[in-house]
Structure 1
Amino acid sequence: MPPSPNAPLPLIRPGSSLYHALQSTPTQLRPSLQAWIHWWHEVSSIPLNVSDPGVAQTKLAWWHQEVRNSFEGKPSHPLTKALFKPGVPAPGRLPPLEVWLAQVEGMQSLVQQTRWLDEPSQKKHALATTGAACEGAAHLLGAHSEAALTTVHELGWGLRQAHHLARLGQDARLGWLHVPVSTLQQHDVKAHELLRPSAGQAPEHWPGLLSHLHGQARQSLQDSLGALARLPSAERKALRPLRVLAALHMALIDEIAARGADVLHGRIILTPLRKWWIATKNR
């Protein structure tokens, strides 16, 4: 059940956070970064969109082999062909093999696991997936120092925390709950109260849980933005797209925190003008 090798490259939705991040990228590097984003989303969407675990594992196994084949000079999918085309990106800028495989293997584990017992296990998975995605982007953008790669790898944790908070209600309606059991217990919120919330209502102790999730994600993003600001000038400039992405996520979770229980019942997004302004300031 592999992806169709003739499938066209998808488009990043205009006005999305990824769109604004991509617009912050030098023109000559955009095709490679766009292909990397698409590849990452292609793999990430499999556990969510494929209901049969066996089929999902088969698709992920196909990608695992496709990545290895690509590093041997034999890519077959449009996404890998775009990234492994000779001279694109510049020599030496492709993410290393282990970064690609970390993403695939992280999704393979997610097929079998839809709950986290505690925050350390959740963070470990986030760093292996979203952290690897950010690290891959840094390679493509030309930031290769150990400090830069460590910083963007850790940024993946903050981005994933913000993503989980923003999609809490949407994911719950699909049967996914990315709040660790230990965190639910700490705030006296039952899993079923989030998976099946009463219409127009929130769990009794939801405000405390929301404050925790927002504060944790915001602190992670702030720490990463601070670390990005301490990098040498050339790397700060190269990593501008990730800084834009972090700033947009921070503004989104601030809006979610201000809206209370709304995130349990519907999607909350920033207005296009507000996104544009945040991205412009950070560029």
Structure 2
Amino acid sequence: MTAAGPRTVNQGGDALQRVEKTVRKSGSSFFWGMRLLPRERREAIYAVYAYCREVDDIADGDAPDSVKHRQLAEWRAEVERLYAGTPTHPVTRALAAPVRRFGLPKEELLAILDGMERDARGGIVAPTDAALRSYCRQVAGAVGMLAMHIFADGDTRADRATCEELAITLGEGLQLTNILRDLGDDAARGRLYLPEEVLQAAGVTAREPRDILRDPALPAACAMLARTARQRFARSRALMERLDKGTARPCRLMLEIYARILDTLETSGWRHPERRVRVPKWTKLWIVLRHGIL
């Protein structure tokens, strides 16, 4: 997969096949929650994920910032074409039917681009807590909002307020876990998403991302952010009880897999933050059996 802006493609290409291939190649934990959905919803969430993958690859790529911004601007124009009924990229063509069927909001697709543009502006280092929450809303909450339009379709128990709170709360918990898992990868890109207030409270004195990873107070800072992620997961579990089981199932699977990642990180004590932990496949399968099928 290349990190490039959208381009005109052969309209005879199989857009759905492409986005499913993108999801499978990614190895994402989200795949385990998505694959159990009925076909129409599964194809819709695959397309949303593929869109996120395309724009994230731009933000995390090695191109100069000016090129990244141009490519993201092209994607912004492509989203406008999608909602005008004239998409040109396989991913947006795959999104066309879900946009019509599930009423996916354009502003959420654009919010994801806003988050990617923040990353493309250079290294984010020790943002304020408010700035971090804003970023989480863009890159994770927006995905949750799109997903809930798909997951909760037809759920008579799912009121709008519950769905929106779950989307934002669970999205934040997942993103905070990502931040704790990806400390090494982010530091290599000159980024550190641990909030300034947490670093100060833990007594971290280093200022550069790579130096912060070696600061003896880093584990305490990580433990603080992990507690916040746990709080978001606890609230998300309570919100899921208000939904039909079928609506909550993919959310619960993602939550439980990420909670296991958080368990592993906490057990490690963040002694080697440059190492990216992974949940074994057998553990994911057990979670699917426990929360997805039984």
Same-fold status (TM-score > 0.5) = yes
Structure 1 equivalent of residue 12 of structure 2: none
What is the CA-CA distance between 1:188 and the residue it aligns to? 1.5
Please tell me whether the aligned partners of residues 23 and 31 of structure 2 are also in contact (alpha carbons under 8 angstroms): no
> C-alpha separation between the residues in 2 aligned to 1:53 and 1:167?
21
Q: CA–CA distance in 2 between the matches of 1:90 and 1:176? A: 34
Residue aligning to 1:227? 239
Alpha-carbon RMSD: 2.3
Structure 1: state its 5+ residue gaps: none
- Retained in 2: the 8 A contact 1:248–1:279? no
Do 2:261 and 2:278's aligned partners in 1 also have CA atoms closer than 8 Å? yes
- Structure 2 spans left out of the alignment, 5+ residues: 10-14
The answer to whether the 8 Å contact 2:44/2:95 transfers is: yes
- Does 1:62 pair with 2:65? no
Q: What's the offset of the Cα at 1:40? A: 1.3
Give secondary structure in 1 for the equivalent of 2:263.
Answer: helix
CA–CA separation in structure 1 for the residues paired with 2:175 and 2:243? 26
Distance 1:259 1:191 in 2: 22
- TM-score, structure 1 length as denominator? 0.88
Distance 1:91 1:197 in 2: 46
Cα distance in structure 2, aligned partners of 1:37 and 1:254:
25
Instruction: Determine if the alignment matches structure 1 residue 98 to structure 2 residue 113.
Output: no
Whether the aligned pair in 2 keeps the contact of 1:170 and 1:264 (CA below 8 Å) is: no
> Quick one: structure 1 residues 180 and 51, their matched pair in 2 at CA, closer, same or farther if it must change by over 3 Å?
farther
Per the TM alignment, residue 191 of structure 1 is displaced from its structure 2 partner at its CA by 4.2
TM-score by length of 2: 0.85
Q: Is the 8 A contact 2:48 2:95 kept in 1?
A: yes
Question: SS at 1:264's partner residue?
Answer: coil
1:260 is aligned, of 269, 274, 291, to: 269
Cα pair distance change 1:59/1:90, threshold 3 Å = closer
Q: Please give the per-residue CA displacement for 1:106-143, whole angstroms capped at 9, x wherever unaligned.
A: 22233225124311210011112210001101112244
Q: Distance in 2 between matches of 1:150 and 1:205?
A: 33
SS of equivalent residue, structure 2 residue 192? coil
Q: 1:240 maps to which residue?
A: 249
In 2, the alpha carbon distance for the partners of 1:222 and 1:56 equals 37
2:159 is the alignment partner of 1:145: yes
RCO higher in structure (CA 8 A, sep ≥6): 1
Letter in 1 for 2:159: S
Identity level (%): 24
Is the CA contact (8 Å cut-off) linking 1:134 and 1:242 kept in structure 2?
no
Aligned equivalents of 1:189, 1:90: Cα separation in 2:
45
Please state if 1:52 is matched with 2:64.
Answer: yes
Shift of 1:192: 4.8
Query: Alpha carbons of 1:195 and 1:51: their partners in 2 closer, same or farther (altered >3 Å)?
Result: farther
1:131 is the counterpart of 2:162: no
**Contact in 2 for aligned 1:64/1:101 (Cα 8 Å):** yes
Paired AA for residue 106 in structure 2: L
1:228-260 CA-partner distances (Å, limit 9, x unpaired): 12x232xx4223212211111111011111012
How far 1:13 moved relative to its partner?
A: 3.7
